[in-house]
Amino acid sequence: MTDVSNLEYTVDVQGLNKHFGNKHVVRDLSLRVRRGEIFGFLGPNGSGKTTTIRMMCGLLKPDSGTGTCLGYDILRDSAEIKRRVGYMTQKFSFWEDLTITENLDFVARMYEIPSRRQAVRESLEGLGLTARAAQLAGDLSGGWKQRMALAACMLHKPDLLLLDEPTAGVDPRARRDFWDEIQSLAAKGISVLVSTHYMDEAVRCHKLAYIASGTLLVQGSAAEVIAGQHLSTWAIHGNRLSELQQTLRQQPGVAQTVTFGDVLHVSGTDANQLQRIVESAVGSSGRRAEPIDTSLEDVFIYLMGRREEQSGGQP
């Protein structure tokens, strides 16, 4: 049971619920992460992503629900799970008053890694931080902190990485390097569950889940998620787009309008109706409209909006 290579799902949880006081933070959440899969976890702030991740790695006990993580029961075997999972917290949570080496060494000792010194040295080399090994972790820049955190999470060679918004506040170059690294880890068979707000990161995931107000709304590959919402989208180019956006928004067949720079995306669930609306709106105004593939971002904004409508419409 401990041999991960025989497991189909490294994370397999069903019906997780968590309350903080009388706030229902996670509702009936079920999800599965395959071995070697990069699983993107998306959703607005405060939607329950961090709570879900904490329940998976044994930091929080779910109020109800069952599940396994690397084959271990998340309710009973949290000690076993902690040994085998690499968890990177949203906020940098290593010791800023310890040097990089001291931090890595401490982590290595905590996981009782055999040939500890060598593991730490290799980790430093892998990071390219050998020269700055004696620097305090608190003096590192955001990008380096996050690389150090990832290296520390990987020291004990976990089979599953849980990364909670690892790239928040990191520059684009460092983000790209970080994701290259994650993809090479996944290629080695490590499963990665990563929460993010960035669409360019979401499209690099094998699988996605979208959570809002504690409820998992969709789950699947990017293509499945897009297809599942049955949205057609038109792109409108031209001038005075915000004026046009105002009028289009009132139309019953238009689900949403989003401006991306000088392009207006108009989406709706009924393709024929949407075409009529867009064509009549553009008319002879000199603007230009064309049907495009609905993007992941369109879908997520649509999901977020719908969720707000639903929760707003209910008493």
Partner 1 sequence: MKQRHGFSIARWWSLVLKEFTQLRRDRLTFAMIAGIPILQTALFGYAINTNPKHLDTAIISADDTNITRSIIAAMQNSSYFKVVGELPNEAAAREALARGRLLFVVSIPAGFTRQLLRHERPSLLIEADATDPTATGSALAAVNGIVQSVVQREIAGPLAMLQGGPAPFEVNVHQLYNPESITQYNVVPGVMGMVLTLTMVMMTGLAITRERERGTMENLLAMPATPMEVMTGKLIPYIGIGLIQASIILLAARFIFHIPFLGNIGAVYLSTLLFIAANLTVGITFSSLARNQLQAVQLAIFYFLPNILLSGFMFPFKGMPTWAQMIGNLLPLTYFNRLIRGILLKANGWADSWPNVWPMMVFTVALMAVAVATYRRTLD
Q: Site residues (CB under 8 A) for partner 1?
A: 1, 20, 54, 57-61, 72-73, 76-80, 82-83, 85, 87, 89, 91-98, 102, 105-107, 109-112
Phi, psi of 115 (to 5 degrees): 45, 65
CA dihedral 297, 217, 85, 223 (to 10 degrees): -50
Q: Is 145 left (phi over 0), alpha (psi -120 to 50) or beta?
A: alpha
Distance between CA atoms of 218 and 53, rounded to whole angstroms? Answer: 17
E strand map for the chain: 9-20, 23-34, 38-42, 64-69, 72-73, 85-88, 160-164, 191-196, 207-212, 215-220, 232-237, 256-260, 263-268, 288-292
Q: How far is the CB of 90 from partner 1 (least distance, A)?
A: 9
Please report, as a single letter, which amino acid is at residue 298: D
Phi and psi torsions of 178, nearest 5° = -60, -45
Q: How far, in Å, are 136, 183, 224 from residue 230 at the CA level?
A: 51, 30, 10
Token pair 């976890």 is at which residue? Answer: 41
Nearest Cα to Cα of residue 80 among 192, 176, 169, 156? 156
Residue with Cβ nearer partner 1 (82 or 121): 82
Q: Decide whether 71 or 268 has the Cβ nearer to partner 1.
A: 71
The Cα 121–Cα 117 span in angstroms is 6
175 neighbors 197 (Cβ within 8 angstroms): no
Q: What is the DSSP string of 82-96?
A: HHHEEEE-SS--S-T
Rg, C-alpha atoms of the chain:
23
- Residue 38 or 60: the one with the smaller Cβ distance to partner 1 is 60
Q: Contact at 8 Å (CB) between 213 and 43? A: no
3-state secondary structure (DSSP) of residue 281: helix
Closer to partner 1 by CB, 147 or 307: give it: 147
